[in-house]
Amino acid sequence: MTIQDFFRAYHRAALAFSGGVDSAYLLYAGLSCGAEIRPYYVKSQFQPQFEFEDALRLCRELGIEPRVLRLDALSVPEVRANGPDRCYSCKINIMSTVMAAAREEGYPFLLDGTNASDAADDRPGMRALGELGVLSPLRLCGLTKPEIRRLSREAGLFTWNKPAYACLATRVKTGESITNERLAAVEAGEDFLFSLGFTDFRLRTCGGAALLQFPAEQLPAAYAREEEIRRRLAADFSEIRIDPEGRRTSL
């Protein structure tokens, strides 16, 4: 099945839109195929402001108006508790919210940007998508992450080389409750590191401490600015440490 085949069969659909590489290309592809596709962006404490701004920019460039849905992600006790199934509970909450809004507007199908490079094992988020009947066209059409980046570049999408970005909830160690304060501290810390020129890193937190994981090639620069980083993050974290093994980056 090609992406054109898919949109011939599913001509009118809603898209759970994050503004990342995959959902950005899927939105572009749907519009290019002449499909009536509506992007829905769920804004919660788990999405940093720059992701929201990227999503709005992409929609502006494609000439389509997104529907922004506000959601309190921490209103779900299982999400707040941050157990092993947090992602499942969160995905159910997000997709159910989008699905309800889409049905009100007459969209019979809900799409997401899962691609053929994403593992098909029992990942909680994948399980939630299956239970809700969310369709993943990129995966169904066999499009991998490298292919999506190539096609996005050819299409002129600014997202083509955007680093993979997991939500802020992934920064809090499993089993440690997620709070608005923790999320705000992580986002502020990552914003500061972005301002220093670092990219594709993670600030992970546990028990009030912060572990900074930079790609290996950025570690020398991180150590050179370690004191500056420590001073800036000290107000929000009891301990700041740079992971000497670095971060293994993804596609």
pLDDT digit string, tens, across residues 149-166: 999 999 999 999 998 888
Residue with tokens 């002129």: 156
In contact, 136 and 72? CB cutoff 8 Å:
no
Q: What CATH number does residue 106 fall under?
A: 3.40.50.620
Question: Does residue 117 share a domain with residue 7?
Answer: yes
Residue in 56, 50, 69 with CA at minimum distance from that of residue 162: 50
Residue 18 domain-assigned (yes or no): yes
Q: How far apart are CA 22 and CA 42, in angstroms?
A: 16
Residue with tokens 């293994």: 248
Query: Tens digits of per-residue pLDDT, 43-102?
Result: 999 999 999 999 999 999 999 999 999 999 999 999 999 999 999 999 999 999 999 999
Question: Does residue 134 share a domain with residue 58?
Answer: yes
Question: Does residue 119 share a domain with residue 154?
Answer: yes
Question: Does residue 194 share a domain with residue 151?
Answer: no
Q: What is the pTM of this model?
A: 0.91
Q: Where in the sequence is the domain holding 16, given as residue range(s)?
A: 3-161
As a whole-number percent, the residues of the chain with pLDDT over 70 amount to 97
